[in-house]
Amino acid sequence: MQRRNKIKNIGFERGLILNLPNLLTIARIILIPLLVIFFYLPVSWAHLAATIIFVIASFTDWLDGYLARYLKQSTRLGAFLDPVADKLMVSIALVLIVAEPTFQYVSVTTRVMYIPNPIITIPAAIIVAREIVVSALREWMAEIGKRKSVAVSSLGKVKTAVQMLALMVLLYCDPSTNVVLVFTGYVLLYFAAFLTIWSMLFYLKDAWIQLSIVRMRK
């Protein structure tokens, strides 16, 4: 009887692991190498295809969270994989954009304008650095039982939306892209970097308050 219950529990846990929200998260991770492959294909529609893949991946980011709440299928695996998939997707997209010569030489009417590489490297570095800092902060707060104090805020969601939009625009750009679209991508990326710093400061402030409370109780 005990063995049967044990087998049943194992089957139940496996079912939770392979639920729809988790499968969508895993699919998002699988899309990442496809994003890189299509971005570098020697065809005229390479950047368009990469952008479509990124849009699909971004949509699954919202969908898996919604389904996990709606179907009540939140799991520890999903809570771990979802932010990992997000950070991988954003980091890889930023690497592709920073390494792309398109964003250094932009055609403007009859001449080519040179844009220094740091112009796009700086906001990309800010975004990646912030993700590392906030991830480490959340791990630290989880250890003292205050993980909810640094949960995703409304400002963080706005930051993510602007960041995704900026990456979609810039991934689409290639040497034939209109200069206005390229600079729109730049502006969105800098705005995302600003929101990135702003939201990080809010998380640090909330974490500091919780740490001060814990220290006072000791």
Task: Name the residue with tokens 């990124």.
Answer: 54
Residues in the chain, total: 218
Distance of CA 60 to the CA centre of its chain: 12
- CA-CA distances (angstroms) from residue 68 to 23, 82, 160, 192? 11, 11, 19, 27
Position 105 scores a pLDDT of 55
Rounded to whole angstroms, the Cα distance separating 128 from 87 reads 8
Q: What is the per-residue pLDDT across 91-140, written as a single tens digit (0 to 9) for each?
A: 999 999 998 876 655 555 555 566 778 888 999 999 999 999 988 888 88
pTM of the model: 0.82
